Amino acid sequence: MRASSPPVEESATARKVASPFTPYKKVRPGTPKEAELIEQYLPFVKNVVGRLALSLPAHVDLDDLYSAGLVGLLNAVRNYDPTAGSSFESYARVRIRGAIFDELRRLDWVPRSVHDKARKVQAVINQIEQTKGQAPTDAEVAAALGLSMNEYDDLMAQIRPATFVCLDAVSGNEEGGETIHHETVSDPSMADPVDSTVRNEMSRLIEKRLNTLPEMQRKVLALYYFEDLRLREIAEVFGLTESRICQIHSQAILALRGYLQRVVADDR
């Protein structure tokens, strides 16, 4: 894997599954083929829920998230367009993650105070980056917040739940919350060229921003989102603690989110 950008190949789980979709032909709802595909791709739902479970409080019912993920998988099977150019595995992961995070937002599992703290750190990261022209170090962010490194580490641990998001969860609504971009499409069951355009532009912006992140942040994001490694496994790869990998992940996500929100604001 090159350090300069995340790998473009499918994740390890996706590589094991050969796409069963016939080119130029969608799967009809309620058919045996649909049921077969749901069964085949159930591991995708289990994988996403299992990884999220590590960063969720005990009171969150994983069965509810699994049910939401199944809805996302069903929508992916019914709406996937084999002619769109992306693999079903990539499309399904976006829909599954999107459905699960919709459910988490409905449950409001992250306290508002945590979101407020995360936005404060994100604003400081943005401010330092705009001044320096490059991503800030942990020490620089801690100093700008008036915190010691131990206090900064504690803060990053507190806001960790607010930073475990899909990479397309980047635009803000008027209340200061977050909205994943597939929610802005009026009807996901209808073919919409705007959806493809938005996804392509979002991918371009994310790739551009990733290339400016520190090398370690790029590697952690690539291994977590593209290679499906768990945080513990990533920590073992680099010989670091899992909490340190969580901190690196959180700062990278806040930097990405801040950049994309600035782009959206500038375009309005």
Q: Which of 91, 39, 47, 88 is nearest to 65 (CA)?
A: 47
Q: For residue 238, is pLDDT > 90?
A: yes
| Mean of the per-residue pLDDT values of the chain | 75
pLDDT at 267: 60
pTM over 0.75: no
Tell me how far apart the alpha carbons of residues 48 and 119 are, in angstroms, rounded to a whole number.
25
Domain boundaries along the sequence of the chain: 8-109, 110-268
- 117: exposed, middle or buried (C-beta count within 10 Å: 0-12, 13-18, 19+)? middle
Q: What is the DSSP string of 125-167?
A: HHHHHHHHSSPPPHHHHHHHHT--HHHHHHHHHHTHHHH---T
Tell me how far apart the alpha carbons of residues 127 and 144 are, in angstroms, rounded to a whole number.
10
The stretch 171-197 carries a mean pLDDT of 43
pLDDT in tens, 128-150: 988 888 888 899 999 999 999 99
All residues at 6 or more sequence positions from 160 whose CB lies less than 8 Å from its CB, including other chains: 55, 246, 250
pLDDT at 176: 41
Q: How far is CA 200 from the centre of its chain?
A: 16
CA atoms in the 13 A half-sphere facing the CB of 209: 24
pLDDT at 73: 92
Tokens of 216: 């370690």
Tell me how far apart the alpha carbons of residues 143 and 209 are, in angstroms, rounded to a whole number.
24
The stretch 254-267 carries a mean pLDDT of 76
All residues at 6 or more sequence positions from 5 whose CB lies less than 8 Å from its CB, including other chains: 207, 210, 211, 218, 222
pLDDT in tens, 57-111: 666 788 888 999 999 999 888 888 877 777 888 888 888 888 888 887 777 667 7
Asked: is 8-109 a CATH 1.10.1740.10 domain? The reply is yes
- Contact, 82 vs 23, CB < 8 A? yes
pLDDT at 216: 92
Asked: is 110-268 a CATH 1.20.140 domain? The reply is yes
Q: For residue 173, is pLDDT > 80?
A: no
168: DSSP letter: T
Which amino acid type is present at position 79?
Answer: N
